[in-house]
Structure 1
Amino acid sequence: MKRLYFLPAACLLLALPLSAQENLKNENLRTLSADSILTGDARMDSLYRHLPEVMVVGERPVVKASAGKLEYDLPRMIEGRPVDNVYEALKELPGVVEQDGALTLGMQAVTVVLDGKVTNMSGAQLYALLKSLPADRIERVEVMYNAPARYQVRGAMINVRLRHRIGDPGVVQGEVYGKYNQEHEASFEERASLLYNGRKFSADFLYSHSHGESFNTTDKEARHWQQADGSTHLIDNYEEMRARSHTHSFRLGTDYTLAENHSLSFVYNGAYATSHTRQNSTGTQTAESVSSQTSWLHNGRLDYRTPIGLKAGAEFTWYNAPGDQLLHSRMGNDSLDFYTEDGQRINAWKFFLAQEHQLKNGWGLNYGAVYTTSVDHSYQTYENEELKKNEESGLPDDVRSRRREQTLNLYAGFSKSFGRKLMTDFSLAVERYKTPVWDEWDVYPVLNLTYLPADGHILQLNFSSDKSYPDYWAVQDVISYLGGGYSEIHGNPLLKPAIDYSTSLTYILKSKYVFRAWFNHTKDRAVQTLYQSPDELLELYKYLNFDFEQQAGLQASVPFKAGQWLNSRLTLIGLWMRQKDSDFYDLPFDRHRLLGIAVLNNTFTLSRKPDIRLTVDGRLQGRAIQGIYDIPTCGDLSATLRYTFLGGNAVLTAWCRDILQTSMPCPQIRYARQWVTNEYSSFRSVGLSFAWKFGGYKEKKREAVDTSRFK
């Protein structure tokens, strides 16, 4: 892991030559105006040589504050950056870090919504949608560290506002996009987007197809202690996994404007995906596993908005994901030979009614109700090829379940502006959560205070409470075999929702330097952690509720420039984390860790005519913990070259990511008699993409569907 130390140094060394060159070039502190740069007029340039040595050039702020939220000019922030979709664009926001394939804000989970509309799609499906949406559709982004109840979201939220109007009525505009990426294996993506804008009616259509193959390896070394005779068994397994997949995503959205602030909109999101995986294990255990999964998603949402501030809507989600696995495994005298089928089908409905009033003297009032209900039909069946279904097979029992959840949320809140400097937003939600196991009422207060002491200075104080629910599959009483069968994944029907309390203080200097401090306390934090059984040679993966998790953190995001050549941003995060579980099997723990994260993003303008830009990004993360896991240091160094031509309508991008092959952390356990090391593969990737816009394409809005809890 020594190569990780070169990540920050590499980024800085790449930045220094151009920065030094620019400083030598501008010894007289000469600054050109935008007009001079655009025209290249030498006479204008000569005039500046006779002006005073120091000049002040204005710059539009990238962030401004309103009650309870920060509004970012994200299109300007990603200008010149190698960003092709909404998901990649969101990672350019200060404090947003990608962790385990999900976006976090200040190292906390964050909900992403489009145009203020929260839907039933899961996190994985939402992220797939964001990756299929072109970045040019973004109009602005609202960041809320604690979202008020009227947004129907608790905790941190990023609201992506997409473009509604794109030009003259009756014009059809669009974009086509293609991507090739070569990691260990090749993958591809094709995307097409159309947008029609009428005087009262507008519609947009999107189709995306991603496909290809993948390859990764796991090198496992374990010392497995057995209670029966006090012996220790050495496990040394090497696993290769090859997979191929196809994903088709499509959406159709329509808007009809009846009058000013009076509209009706409907959006449909759909997806079809298939995957086929083959795993081979050698070493202490020899195994071959072949599995496949197919999934369908249909989601429709209808929204109605009236001029009096009344909003109403309904949404339906249907999701189906059947799969199968064939496993042959040998380890010592034990063997596994079976065929299994499993599946999950979700039917979910959501209805809401909301009212907002703008009163006198800067007062605002809002209240509403949200009702959601879902039915989870899940199953899992096992069949032994030789013994069929009898007691000698040693396989888990078949599971067929029908599990219903219901949530009723009633909320009310107010906002108040005290002049131009002080704004407050308070809301209170009362919610009932009912399942076959739980029937609880909870209260969720949210308070946001925003103070503007001077132009360009923003101070924001937030407090909120939240409850997060486990994935549907995690609470099913099922057992799945991972890899060759040495590892098992167990469901937990008694898994509790986690309750979170958080407070934060954010200070923004000159409308661009962001500093933040926060503290979180999460009761019944649900984490999936490995445990080596003392009764048999078996690793157990199971979601369990910890007593609590606490985090305290500091964040600084500092953008800086060097002339017209370099545009950079440095983000530093310091974090203290503590996790405690007094009934973790027979190994109670109370662990804490200090860690740091540094992210440096650099954009070099190599040429303006033609428009050629190079980005070099580096990230370094210190050691962390997760239960009894130790997560070692990891990092990433990537470079991207982008060429824009045809008046900005065509973009050709080439990249090399994870140059040092250090982005994948390899966790290990050294706790009491638990001893495991998992070495995961990390491969360098290179790729090429091309995007072409036609019809003066600029883009539109749409919303996403929350499927984070689906299988």
Structure 2
Amino acid sequence: MSYLKQMNMKSYYYLSLMLCALSAGVSAQEITKSTDVESERTLSADSIITQDKQLDSLYQSLPEVMITGQRPIVKAEQGKLVYDLPRLIGNLPVDNAYDAVKELPGVTEMNGGLMLAGQGVTVILDGKVTTMSTEQLYSLLKSIPSSRIEKAEVMYNAPARYQVRGALINITLKQSTGGPSSWQGELYGKYNQKHYEGFNERASLIYNGNKFSADFLYSHNHGRGYSLTDKEAMHSLADGSVHHITTDEMGRSRSHTHSFRVGTDYNIAKDHQLSFVYNGSYSTHHSLMDIYGTQQSNTRSNSTDWLHNGRLDYRTPFGLKAGAELTYYRSPSDQLLHSSMQDEELAFYTEDCQRINRWKFFLAQEHNLGRGWGLNYGAVYTTSIDHSYQYYYDTEKDAGTKTGVSTGIPDNMQSRRREQTLNFYAGFNKSFGDKLSLDASLAVEHYKTPVWNQWDWYPTINLSYMPAPGYVWQLALSSDKDYPDYWAVQDAISYLGGGYSEIHGNPFLKPAQEYQLQLTHILKSKYIFSAWFAHTKDYSTQTLYQSSERLVEIYKHLNFNYQQQAGVQASIPFDIKQWLNSRLALIGVWHHEKDDDFWDIPFNRNICYGIAVLTNTFTLSKKPDLKLTLTGMARSKATQGIYDLPSSGYVNAALRYGFAKGKAILNLYCNDIFETGQIKPRIRFGTQNVTNDYACFREIGVSFTYKFGGYREKKREEVDTSRFK
């Protein structure tokens, strides 16, 4: 289940947003800033365990304002949009790959994850799909400097040859071989204050040789966290009694995360390459939570995470690709809880651990048949083993004695689950002259777990039409399957909020199946408009339910009948002379969810909501290089399951100073200036009555980036590079 955050001081927020708009005049540019990460909080069982075109410049005279044309930031290529991402973020206070992705038109952030046109999106690096979890991949992206990015490819409907279904963003990192050897690097440091302090240090180094290239990366995130939550609930039981519950929750934490990456490419010949990438991380998290009010509770938690991921890729000149990937993840944690509410008490110590071993092997072939025809086919096999356990120890009994029998303490859990996926796909692409192209594919997949054993098929069609240079129409039909998190399907119970809140696993949770139709129009290679409709069968999310049998609220992943969305989106960029660059995004969504067997209160709910994001970048001075960025976001109220989500919004500001011939950048920023980014998620449905009020803290910070290198080693004896790129 996802929590959205409180919106207060609305008058201040809207006033500030209006000032941003007035300062922009007729400006506005495509957005991509996350609209919901500042407005949602995610609770999950797993988090408890892990802690969690080229155009000449032209001038048009318009009344009272001069608007300058630019080189396009986007061009269309066979079912995908290719963005000049470095130019898109050049004037923005963006310092890592994750934040750069959020600047792509149509990309928003919800539930702590990236969305494209309102739907989930997969992000890959250099065309390589990883077996790392979404959370692990996002951590990697946050550690990669934005200066490493060459371009971004956006596909609302990825063909099967990408081994990804649904929306896809492919981030291509800068690489070069075939010339003199060179070294480049970057050092980065950041300090931020959001009630408590946080730090980030990062170093990266790139070597480009004649045939061999390599990159090295290390990042360290550390600091303290602080949270305040006020809960008010009217809890109705089956016996007719109603209990008024009010609690004040204060949480404090400290954490360290070390991330590292090594990537190598060896060019044997032209279009003949061997690549290896290793990604790893190590993190620790310690937290203390105190609760006062109807419930009195004290909870201490500790967790440690290890991640090792290695991938080997081989590409041949005749279109054959092969590869293997291994991911190892281990996350042990412990919790000591003492809690009392009314006449019930809880006192226990728990140890739990999740260990994942996952392997992936793939073989793919592409053929260029001539006359605009292309053929592709392949196979992908993925298997994983999940070793997990959760042991409870009653602190009122002898130390070290496992329990599961005492009243109020769940049974112990130990499991070993194997999951296998076998996928075969075939597709073709055809260019009908320079204006029309078609890309279609079909994937057949077998999914097997201890509970599910089924075959599914996934058609994909992309049709692109370019009536004139800079004008594109794209029609896409896609299908996808979304698999549940590993811990979400464990038969385990975890405690949150001192004992009144329980998180239950669901071993019978089904994968969700999604079908989407999308129409996209690009105008003058710059303005982007899209409309879509999506239907997701067996959609699942973590929801809250106040038990009618006992005084607890239960968080659990459940399958709905379906979720439906229809939406429209516009991304509009404008420049005014050379002092203002603005971007505007408008998104409208019709959202519908239905569940006929949601506990004892089935629901069928729909709502329309809108999102607007305006980003203005002012060039205060060119010498020195000084830029000011103001960003405002507003979203109307929405729903999620039985939750009502009030409207939300924020205003951010950043001052960017570049010096040392562009090698150094100093960035000062303040996020959520008026502390309006959070809302009060509430439930008023049937017998359910809950409001969670999360405290909001503005964040101020400073970061410094220094780029070095460009040094090229002395060229050795001449090497024949005629066969290289």
Mark yes or no: TM-score above 0.5: yes
Residues 433 and 440 in structure 1, CA contact (< 8 A), matched pair in contact too: yes
**CA distance 1:56–1:435, change in 2 (3 Å):** closer
Q: Residue 175 of structure 1 is aligned with which of 174, 179, 186?
A: 186
* Mapped pair 1:93 → 2:104: yes
**CA distance 1:589–1:554, change in 2 (3 Å):** same
Residues 178 and 209 in structure 2, CA contact (< 8 A), matched pair in contact too: no
Residues 144 and 158 in structure 1, CA contact (< 8 A), matched pair in contact too: yes
> Offset at 1:2?
5.9
The percent identity for this pair of structures is 62
Residues 15 and 566 in structure 1, CA contact (< 8 A), matched pair in contact too: no
SS in 1 for 2:276: strand
* Mapped pair 1:215 → 2:226: yes
Long gaps (5+) in structure 1: 22-32, 36-47, 699-711
> Offset at 1:393?
4.0
> Offset at 1:665?
2.8
- What residue number does 2:564 align with? 550
- What residue number does 1:574 align with? 588
Query: Superposition pairs for residues 473-492 of structure 1, below 5 Å?
Result: 473-492=487-506
Quick one: distance in 1 between partners of 2:707 and 2:691? 48
- What residue number does 2:605 align with? 591
Residues 8 and 600 in structure 1, CA contact (< 8 A), matched pair in contact too: no
- What residue number does 1:130 align with? 141
Residues 8 and 619 in structure 1, CA contact (< 8 A), matched pair in contact too: no
Q: Residue 635 of structure 2 is aligned with which of 596, 621, 630?
A: 621
**CA distance 1:307–1:374, change in 2 (3 Å):** same
> Offset at 1:172?
1.5
Long gaps (5+) in structure 2: 1-6, 28-55, 713-725
Quick one: distance in 2 between partners of 1:558 and 1:57? 14
Q: Residue 356 of structure 2 is aligned with which of 319, 324, 346?
A: 346
- What residue number does 1:103 align with? 114
- What residue number does 2:336 align with? 326
Residues 525 and 545 in structure 1, CA contact (< 8 A), matched pair in contact too: yes
* Mapped pair 1:267 → 2:277: yes
Deviations 1:211-263 (A, max 9, x none): 000001110000001112x1110000110110100000001111111000001
* Mapped pair 1:521 → 2:535: yes
Deviations 1:153-212 (A, max 9, x none): 001010001111289532211000000000010000000000111101111100000000
Deviations 1:572-620 (A, max 9, x none): 0000000000000110110001100000011000000000000000111
Q: How many residues align?
A: 670
- What residue number does 1:404 align with? 418
> Offset at 1:9?
4.3
User: Counterpart of 1:258 in structure 2: which amino acid?
Assistant: I
> Offset at 1:85?
0.5
- What residue number does 1:255 align with? 265
**CA distance 1:205–1:415, change in 2 (3 Å):** same
Quick one: distance in 2 between partners of 1:323 and 1:555? 43
Quick one: distance in 1 between partners of 2:292 and 2:537? 41
> Offset at 1:14?
3.9
Query: Superposition pairs for residues 131-210 of structure 1, below 5 Å?
Result: 131-165=142-176, 169-210=180-221
Quick one: distance in 2 between partners of 1:691 and 1:567? 23
Quick one: distance in 1 between partners of 2:472 and 2:711? 35
Q: Residue 311 of structure 1 is aligned with which of 321, 328, 353?
A: 321
Query: Superposition pairs for residues 228-239 of structure 1, below 5 Å?
Result: 228=239, 230-239=240-249
Residues 284 and 303 in structure 2, CA contact (< 8 A), matched pair in contact too: yes
User: Counterpart of 2:214 in structure 1: which amino acid?
Assistant: A
Quick one: distance in 1 between partners of 2:211 and 2:421? 36
> Offset at 1:11?
3.7
SS in 2 for 1:87: helix
User: Counterpart of 1:312 in structure 2: which amino acid?
Assistant: A
**CA distance 1:55–1:668, change in 2 (3 Å):** closer
Quick one: distance in 2 between partners of 1:20 and 1:622? 23
- What residue number does 1:67 align with? 78
- What residue number does 2:9 align with? 3
> Offset at 1:12?
4.2
> Offset at 1:492?
0.2
Residues 179 and 189 in structure 1, CA contact (< 8 A), matched pair in contact too: yes
Residues 583 and 614 in structure 2, CA contact (< 8 A), matched pair in contact too: yes
User: Counterpart of 1:110 in structure 2: which amino acid?
Assistant: V
- What residue number does 1:371 align with? 381
- What residue number does 1:360 align with? 370
Q: Which moved more, 1:241-250 or 1:98-107?
A: 98-107
**Structure 1 length normalisation: TM-score?**
0.92
* Mapped pair 1:677 → 2:691: yes
Q: Residue 704 of structure 2 is aligned with which of 665, 690, 707?
A: 690
SS in 2 for 1:165: coil
SS in 1 for 2:507: coil
Quick one: distance in 2 between partners of 1:505 and 1:697? 47
**CA distance 1:475–1:2, change in 2 (3 Å):** closer
Residues 641 and 653 in structure 1, CA contact (< 8 A), matched pair in contact too: yes
User: Counterpart of 1:185 in structure 2: which amino acid?
Assistant: Y
SS in 2 for 1:411: strand
- What residue number does 2:652 align with? 638
* Mapped pair 1:335 → 2:345: yes
**CA distance 1:34–1:592, change in 2 (3 Å):** closer
> Offset at 1:88?
0.7
Runs of 4+ in 1 over 4 A off after TM superposition: 17-21, 53-58
User: Counterpart of 2:446 in structure 1: which amino acid?
Assistant: R
Indicate the RMSD between aligned Cα atoms, in angstroms.
Answer: 1.9
Quick one: distance in 2 between partners of 1:595 and 1:18? 25
Residues 417 and 423 in structure 1, CA contact (< 8 A), matched pair in contact too: yes
SS in 1 for 2:371: helix
